[in-house]
Amino acid sequence: QKMTVKAVKMPCTTPNVYTKVPDGGWGWTIAFAFFFVEALTYGIIKSFGIFFNDLMESFDETNSRISWIISICVFVQTFTAPLSTVLSNRFGHRFVVMAGGVLISTGMVTASFACTVVDMYITIGVISGLGYCLSFLPTVTILSQYFDKRRSLVTAVASTGECFAVFSFAPAITALKEQIGWRYSLLSVGVLQLSIVVCGSLLRPIIIKEQEEVKAQPPEEPTETKYMLENEQTRTSIESIDSGVEITTSPSNVPGNTKAEPKSEEPKEHIQILVETNSPPPEPKTKLLDFSVMRDYSFICYAFFGLFATLGFFAPSLYIIPLSLSLGIGKDHSAYILSAMAIAEVFGRISAGWVLNKEPIRKIYIELICVVLLSVALFAFPFASEFWGLMTCSIFFGFMLGTVAGTHIPLLAEDDVVGIAKMSSAAGVYVFIQSLAGLAGPPLAGVLVDTTQNYSSAFYSCAAGMVLGAVFLSLVRPCKAGLCRRRQQRAEESAAEVVPDLPDDFIEMDIGKAENSGKGCDSV
């Protein structure tokens, strides 16, 4: 009989079902949504410095206390990454991103009515920081699931939303602030960030069913057999564990075989129908957070790379203007240096995505080269003594920063690290580990600047962290290769232990006994 399979619809969502990774399709819509999520999260965070002077005057606070607003926000954003992973696996990426958009908007709108800087710590630091985590991480995770060969290029291009946001939001918010004040400007930003909810609604889940057809067909040759000797019948049968089909091996020795065949055909057909009906096996329960990645040495090395490399991500953007001012460069020219760094970062992200999209290529080694060059750029800053030297260093740093910042999270999906199957959990743990450096990096650089009275020390500390990150990144591939070899050796050893040492005439002895028993029955 011909059987029909009814598709099960998931509540509140309509998943896209593919036989393989589409490398496009609805993924282009998700890439479009990720562009705006990136702009409305990291773009706003990088543009928040526009409000610093206004907040210091309104709350009569120092620069360091005001800077803790963003420090707390970034820390909460990265520290709660495992929570984002758990919620995404439990409720789906769409719901989590939409909830994150509501939290971001709520925190920003409430912050516009803040009376003290402590209120800012809670509203923007904690509430909006949690919303940033719930919005960004699930979006980049599901985007990686829609692409395979184009993953690096698409993710890099979509992540440029952050850079374009700095260009557009900074002058727009500055002009708006002059017209209506910083409080209503902050309120407008919070309302604008509510559009993340719309971006989250576009994140349709994806289901890959690669092996459905293979499972529906029984294998031609059984892979695992057991031998049964029947007491009252004169035949030897081999029952396949995989297919459940019983096959007679010696029909010539079975008396009354013509009677046995019709009887054996019926259960064979019945078993075959059961195999086809139950061909899709029950899917294992998805783990909310798979900590097994912490046993993977390659992931541990990659996590340490992220920990130390994060030290070099924030300091240049925070200290480039103070460094230029200390060299006697005017404020206008200092702003041009920061803008040039942002423009170069756009080209760096796109270039890295284009290079990593080439096949065949070992992407982890390309990332290592970019990290080494980024370390060189950080070491070069203290040697700049005038405007064009600092501009050159900033452009070089911005370009190399774009190559690393736009690819270090998507590279978790590569087989050299953890693979696409464990990327969701790996991304949560990875960003969580980064939070430690994100919280400690800027204060550490500040302590060095206060101690040495020289902004160059901040760039040296960032460069040292980046070098350590490059060392751990260089160990990722060797650890992965060694782990694969150890697993293969264990598999071979376990296979050798499972197979018993049977005598060569084992089957012949059993069949001979069966034939003698059959003769005894005939004589009776």
**Which residues of the chain fall below pLDDT 70?**
1-14, 16, 19, 63-64, 210-291, 314-315, 331, 359-360, 442, 482-524
DSSP 172-197: HHHHHHHHHHHHHHHHHHHHHHTTHH
Which strand (E) or helix (H) includes residue 17?
A: strand 16-18
Which two structure tokens, joined as six digits, stand for 118?
A: 């402590």
Nearest to 241 by CA among 255, 254, 227, 251: 227
Which residues, including other chains, have CB under 8 Å from residue 472's CB and lie 6 or more apart? 301, 302, 304, 305, 308
**Per-residue pLDDT tens digits for 180-213:** 989 999 999 999 999 999 999 988 887 777 654 4
The helix/strand/coil state of 207 is strand
DSSP 225-236: EEEEE-SSSS-E
pLDDT at residue 256, as a whole number? 47
Nearest to 365 by CA among 399, 422, 407: 407
Q: What CATH code would you report for 12-210? A: 1.20.1250.20
DSSP 443-485: HHHHHHHHHHT-THHHHHHHHHHHHHHHHHHHTHHHHHHHHHH
Which residues, including other chains, have CB under 8 Å from residue 447's CB and lie 6 or more apart? none
Residue 46 neighbours by CB distance under 10 Å = 19
**Per-residue pLDDT tens digits for 331-358:** 677 777 877 888 888 888 888 878 877 7
Which strand (E) or helix (H) includes residue 142?
A: helix 129-146
User: CATH 1.20.1250.20 spans which residues of the chain?
Assistant: 12-210, 289-494
pLDDT at residue 434, as a whole number? 80
| Alpha carbon separation from 214 to 17, 219, 222, 224, 295 (Å, rounded) | 17, 9, 15, 18, 32
pTM of the model: 0.62
CATH topology of domain 289-494: Growth Hormone; Chain: A; (1.20.1250)
Which two structure tokens, joined as six digits, stand for 429?
A: 């743990």
What are the residues facing 18 on neighbouring strands? 208
Distance (Å, rounded) from C-alpha 110 to C-alpha 106?
6
Which strand (E) or helix (H) includes residue 519?
A: helix 506-523
The helix/strand/coil state of 99 is helix
Q: What are phi and psi of 204, to 5 degrees?
A: -75, 135
pLDDT at residue 516, as a whole number? 56
Amino acid type, 504: D
| Alpha carbon separation from 415 to 231, 302, 362, 423 (Å, rounded) | 53, 13, 10, 10
Nearest to 297 by CA among 416, 177, 202, 385: 416
Helix (H) and strand (E) counts in the chain = 21, 5
Nearest to 409 by CA among 138, 104, 166, 146: 138
